[in-house]
Structure formats: C-alpha cells, structure tokens
Structure 1
Amino acid sequence: MRFTLSSTALSNRLNTLSRVINSKNSMPILDCFLFQVKGNELIVTASDSENIMQSTIALDEVNGEGEFAIPNRTILDAVKELPEQPLNFEVDLESLAIKIVYQNGLYNFTVQNADEYPHSQSIEDGASVISLSSAVLVDNITRSLFATANDELRPVMNGIYFDLTPDALAIVASDGHKLVRNKNFTVKSDTPAAFILPKKPATLLKNVLGKDDDDVTIKFNDRSAEISFTDGVLTCRLIEGRYPNYNSVIPQDNPNKVTIDRRSLLGALRHVLPFASESSQLIRFRLEKGKLELTSEDVDFATSAKEQLSCEYTGNAMSIGFKGSSLQEILSNLNSDEVELQLADPSRAGIIIPCTQPENEDVLMLIMPMLLND
C-alpha cells in the first residue's frame, strides 16, 4: 500500500490528536495512532479508551487500502522537524514494515497490527442532538472550565453541564464556591435533555475547534457523546449522575448593585491579594455611594493592603468578603469592559454579569461570600 500527503498537514493533525493519548496507557496499543487509508483519505485516530478522536486528511496519491497502528512518539518526532513537502508512505501490511520517503532521506521502522485497536461505538439514532457554531462552543467552554471541581466524592461536579430546555441551552460549571451559567437562546428544544461533559474532552475541544462559524454537532445519549466538527470527530464517555439544581443557588433579589470597570477591579485585586492570608485569600469589599474599597490582611505576618476604586453603586453601605483568587478567575474569564456586581447581603452569594452580553447569550457568574470577623 502506498500513499502521499503533505508533511505539514500530517504534523498539525498529529499534534492535535496527541493530546488525547495518556502518558501511561492500560493497553500498549493506545500508545499508537491508528492510520486507516480509505478511498482518497487517511483517517487518523487517537484514543485513551474513554475519549476517541479522529481526523481526516486528504491524500495526494494513493494505491491500495488498509490500516495499521504507528507508535505516537516515533511518527511525531519523524515529522515535526520536516519543512513542508510531500511524504511518500510505503506500507507492507504482511510484514508490518513501513518506509517513509521525504525530500532528502527516508525512515524505515515497523508498525503494529491494527486489529487490537479499540473502535468507538456509534451512537444510535434515537440520541439527542445539539448543533451550534464552533466559536460559540469554544467561548462557552473557555468561560466554564475554570469553575469545574476536582471532587472525587461528587464526580458530577467535575464536568461541564449542558442543559437543553425549551427556552435555551444552558452550559454550566460549578465547584460549590463559584458558578458559571451561560445561556444560549439560539439553541433550544421542546424535548429537554442534558449531559455532563468531562474536563478532558472539554479541554480537547477548546484546543481543537476554530473560532469560526462552522457548525459543531453534538449527538449524545445517557453514556456517551459524539462531537462532529470540520476536521474530525470526538467520541467520549460522559459523567453519569444527576447534576444539582444550579438555578436554585442563584439569588433572585439583589438590591445592591455595583457597576465597575472590569480591568480596574482586576488590577486592584492583583495589588491587594499578595497581602491577604495565604490560606483564606480573603478580600474585604467596603461599598458606599461612588466608592469601593478593597482591603486584605494577614495577621500572622503583619501585612495588609488597601486600594480604593470609583464605581457606580446603588444600595446600602455594606461590607462583604470574597476569596480573591476565585474573583480574579471570574473577572479574567469575562470579556466585557464593565461588569455589574449584584449583592443582597454579606451572607448571600454575589452575582457578576458582563454589562455587554455576547449576542443571543446571557452570561452569569456567581461567587459565594466568605465570613468577615468584625
């Protein structure tokens, strides 16, 4: 079997797919990429047994069909330093010998039999389907990933929750201290459906998908999801279990509202956070008309810091405590120039929303307060 393809195209796809492969695998064959030549295409697959990603590359010339497994380190190292040029593959599927001829040289090594390679189970026709643009999905995943938990006791909190309702598609993440809820009003369904996407496939999608208007189709059932995009397909196992009722933790009546420049607030947090207690990272917010004061202190090391910012504030004068690093993450994952902080009282969660929402979306972030020792 012979085929020819571009070295750059192959190198780019292999680098993307290599993110799926674990450093230690339960089956030795999972250290390999699966190469399948069908028609005028090469389908390359990478798997860690729970996540399987495939990418299709057009071939310039092809003679014969077949499949083989190629060790990931060998092929990655072989192609990464090559400038753009045609690569000619010659594979003997009987002896499992491969020869790759390039401009000024060649590689000879052995490949592995593809029979042992695990294949993804296709999702049956009765599955739920969501379709949305690549750019929107990337933005929502990027905004949500930081809020997922690392909780062995409640694995449902470790993923991103996709909640399809008659009104909108809500994409949610929470670790119990902070919460992100993205609502997309262009995607809805009369038949409600939901799934929890684990962190690894979510991170893979964030790194693989382009920020363009190409459609991404997510087909899912109770156990797994198949996500189809321009350059390939990702099949992954989902987290099983019931996600908590996220809407019930979002306080509805918040009379105290602060409108403030997001970058200024982020800068002030960065200034005062190093002086807070390392264990609690508590930052005190003192709010009064037109003014926000941030203070931090570490009694053990006799350090403290204070910074004042001007803001628009409607409500009663109040003090509330937040974990500085969590608030920093929230503000860093919003794009709007100004944000609105909505507060009820020092014991209830604070809501942060961008003053400029993305088109057809509603983004809300929530942070639990910390106890102040007055």
Structure 2
Amino acid sequence: MKFIVSSSALLKQLSGINGVITSSPVVPILENFLFEVSEGKLTVTASDLQTSMITEIDVESKESGSIAVPARILLDTLKNLPEQPVTFSIDEDTYAVEISSDNGKYKLSGENATDFPKVPTVNDGYSFNVSTDIFSKAVNNTIFATSNDELRPAMTGVYMKLTDTNATFVATDGHRLVRYRRVDVAEDIDHPIIIPRKALNLLKATLPSDNTNVNVEYNATNAFFKFNNIQMICRLIDERFPDYENVIPMDNDNEMSIDKGEFLSSLRRISIYANKTTHQVRLKITGSELQISAEDLDFSNEANERLSCEHDGDDLEIGFNAKFLIEMLNNVDSKEILMKFSAPNRAGLIFPKNGDENEDILMLVMPVMLSNYN
C-alpha cells in the first residue's frame, strides 16, 4: 500500500488527536495511530480504550489498506520536516513503514491493524447540535471544578442534562460547585449523562473557534462528538451524580457586589500570607466595606486589605479557601460579581453581575470554619 500526503497537513491532523494517547497504555498497540486508506482518504484513529478520536485527510492513493503506526516517532519526524509531499510505502506482510521525503527515507516498524481495538458506535441514542462557541463556554465554565478523586468517579466528570427549556452543565469536587445553564440550547431529552474530564479537555483543545456546529450523540454508555473532520467517542461515567440542587442554599439574604478585578487582585496578594495547608482567607463585611485578611501563625505572617463594596444585609465574617475563590473568579467573565451568603457555616454563592442573557452561571464555594468570629 502506498499513499502521498502533505507533511504539514498530516501533522496538523495528528496533533489534534494525539492527546488521547497515553504514555503507558493498557495494551501496547494503543501507542500507535491506526491508519486506514480507502478511496483517496486517510482515516486516522487514536484511542486509550475509554476515549477515541478519529480524523480524516485527503491523500493521493489508488489503493486501500490499514496499518498501526507508532505515534511518537511519526509525530517527531513530521515536526522536523519542512512542508512537502511525503510518500508512505507500507508492506502489509511485514508491517514495515517507509516514509520518503524530498531528501530522505525513514523506516519504522508498524503493527497489524487488526490488533487495534474497535471503536464503539452510538446506536439508538439521543442527538443534538450546538455551536462550538457555546459548547466551549459550557466546558470552560465547569471543568475546573471537577474532582481528581478516583474514589468518587461521578465527580470526575461534568454532568449534562438537556430539557425542553435549557441545557444544564454541573461540576463539583465537594468543596465547590458550578452550575452553568444555557436557555438558547434546549432539547426535550431529559436523559442526564456524565462526560469524563479527559474527554472534555481533549474537546476543549480541538474545538475550532470559527463557531461551526458540534453534533453530539449519546446513549447510556457512550457519547459521540463530531465537528469539521474530527470525531470523538468517549465512554460515559456510569455513576449517580450528587443531588446538587439540595446543596445550593436558598435563603441568601446577605448580598455583596464588588469589582471582580479588585477583589481578585486583593485575594492573590492576601493569599501569599495564608496558611499553606488551609489557604484560608477571612472576609469581614461591615457596612459598605470588605476586609480581607489571612494569617499563618507558624511563620508569623499576616496581611489584610480593605475594599469598598455594595452590601445589603447584616455584618458578616466568613472564611474561604483562597485557591478556590481565585480559581472561580478567574472563570467569571464579568466586571462585577455578586456574592450571596446566608450564614458563616453555609456555602457562599458567586454570580456574574453582567453576562450573556442566554446563560445563567451559579458558583458555590464551601466555607472554611474560622477559629473565632470577632
């Protein structure tokens, strides 16, 4: 089997799907790309068993066939070649691969394509279309709040549910929670799924910014995403997602509005002086003034700053993990934020004050118990 392809075009497509391949796969064949040539098209598959990505590229070839090609050595070769047509010659008996460029030949040994695991298909599922812009926003606004705790697998992904009124995306790690809703995406499906973090990170890295559409199909076990000439299939997390609605406190009659940039800058400075284990910062709201302070008794470090804010409610003193607050504020695309509280031992809520009218973002962060309330 022989085919000719542009070196830079092939590199671009392979780089888009290479993130799936792990350095120590479950089976050695997964260190390879699966190449399948048919009718002038090269289909390339990368997989780690849980997630598979497939891309297509036009090639010059009158033949058809398949081979598994070592991913790392092929990518390294293409990265160091200038843009030019390269010829792949494959011996289907010995699985030897020869790449010919303008001024060189590179030989590597491939593997039998039949050993490569079959990619699952999504049958009898649900489907909808969404713009890459909206889907990227939903992923970016939730993925940072997923958990790394493999003992609680449901929290290591993003929960997605579509109804006839909106699409809801939720992520939580037990200390913080983000609920992202879009009213401009609605399908009468009402079949929630949990998409793994790795799959969403891969999508985040490959989704185009030209606002094309993503076609999403899913059933009880797998989700399938298709955009431009890339497809991704991932196994869903088969666990029950926590009852997140019950965690959100309802009676939050203590409200504070503040400039996000000022608050974020202050938190970054104050957190330098916080305890390196708890990262605890203290927020003391008195009238229209917010005092942010932190101390690390082990090293006699302490810092405090005062900021002006708009406040409606009783004076309040509450503690939070600064790392969580900073990460959440980093993901708020609004000049001002609104924080709502009910009590020092109840979760605080963060909302953007001015955002897209089609989106509804709620961020929840659990408090850190202060040793004393002055």
- TM-score under structure 2 length normalisation: 0.96
Query: What is aligned with 1:17?
Result: 17
Aligned-pair CA distance for 1:181: 0.7
**3-state SS in 1 of match to 2:298:** helix
In the TM superposition, 1:292-303 aligns within 5 A as: 292-303=290-301
Contact preservation (8 Å) 2:179, 2:363 = yes
Deviations 1:328-350 (A, max 9, x none): 11001111111111112212111
Amino acid at match of 1:17: I
Correspondence 1:142 to 2:179: no
Number of matched pairs = 372
What CA distance in whole angstroms lies between the structure 2 residues aligned with 1:343 and 1:372? 15
Distance 1:291 1:138 in 2: 36
SS at match of 1:316: coil
Q: Deviations over 1:53-111 (max 9, x none)?
A: 1011122x212011111011221111111121111222222332322221222212332
CA contact (8 A) 2:40 2:62 kept: no
Q: Which residue of 2 aligns with 1:272?
A: 270
Provide, for residues 265-318 of structure 1, a one-character-per-residue CA deviation record: whole Å limited to 9, x for no partner: 111011111111122111111112221110101122211100111112122111
Shift of 1:119: 1.3
Alignment partner of 1:161 is 2:159:
yes
Deviations 1:158-194 (CA, angstroms, capped at 9, x unpaired): 1111112232110110011100111011222333111
Supply the distance in 2 between the matched residues of 1:37 and 1:191 (Cα, whole angstroms).
37
User: What SS does the aligned partner of 1:200 have?
Assistant: helix
Q: Tell me the amino acid that sits aligned with residue 101 of structure 2.
A: Y
- Which residue identity does 1:74 align to in structure 2? I
User: Residues 222-237 of structure 1: matches in 2 within 5 Å?
Assistant: 222-237=220-235
Question: Unaligned 5+ residue runs, structure 1?
Answer: none
Amino acid at match of 1:106: K
1:105 maps to 104
Q: 2:331 aligns with which of 327, 330, 333?
A: 333
2:76 aligned counterpart, secondary structure: helix
Aligned twin of 2:216: 218
The answer to whether 1:45 aligns with 2:45 is yes
Deviation >3 Å, runs of 4+: none
* Post-superposition offset of 1:359: 4.5
Q: In the alignment, residue 160 of structure 1 is paired with which amino acid?
A: V
CA RMSD of aligned residues (A): 1.4
What SS does the corresponding residue of 2:171 show, helix, strand or coil? Answer: strand
Question: Residue 45 of structure 1 aligns to which amino acid in structure 2?
Answer: T
- Residue type at the aligned position of 2:322: G
Q: Which residue number in structure 1 is paired with residue 54 of structure 2? A: 54
Distance in 2, matches of 1:14 and 1:116, equals 20
Q: Which letter maps to 2:8?
A: T
Deviations 1:34-62 (A, max 9, x none): 00112121111101111111011122x21
Report 1:343-354 matches (<5 A): 343-354=341-352
- Aligned partner of 1:36 in structure 2 is 36
**Counterpart amino acid of residue 183 in structure 2:** F
| Partner in structure 1 of residue 78 of structure 2 | 79
Q: What are the Cα deviations for residues 111-168 of structure 1, in whole angstroms up to 9, with x where unaligned? A: 21101111112111x2111321112111221221111112233210111111122321
Check the 8 A contact 2:254/2:312 in 1, yes or no.
yes
Query: Quick one: which amino acid aligns to residue 309 of structure 1?
Result: L
Question: 2:358 and 2:40 mapped to 1: Cα distance?
Answer: 40
Cα distance in 2, alignment partners of residues 93 and 355 from structure 1: 62
Which amino acid in the other structure matches residue 7 of structure 2?
Answer: S
Give the one of 335, 350, 353 matched to 1:355.
353
Per the normalisation by structure 1, the TM-score is: 0.96
Q: Which residue identity is paired with 2:48?
A: D
Counterpart Cα distance in 1 of 2:210 and 2:338: 29
Corresponding residue SS for 1:193: coil
**Could you say which residue in structure 2 is the equivalent of 1:118?**
117
Identity %: 38
CA distance in 2, matches of 1:74, 1:150: 31
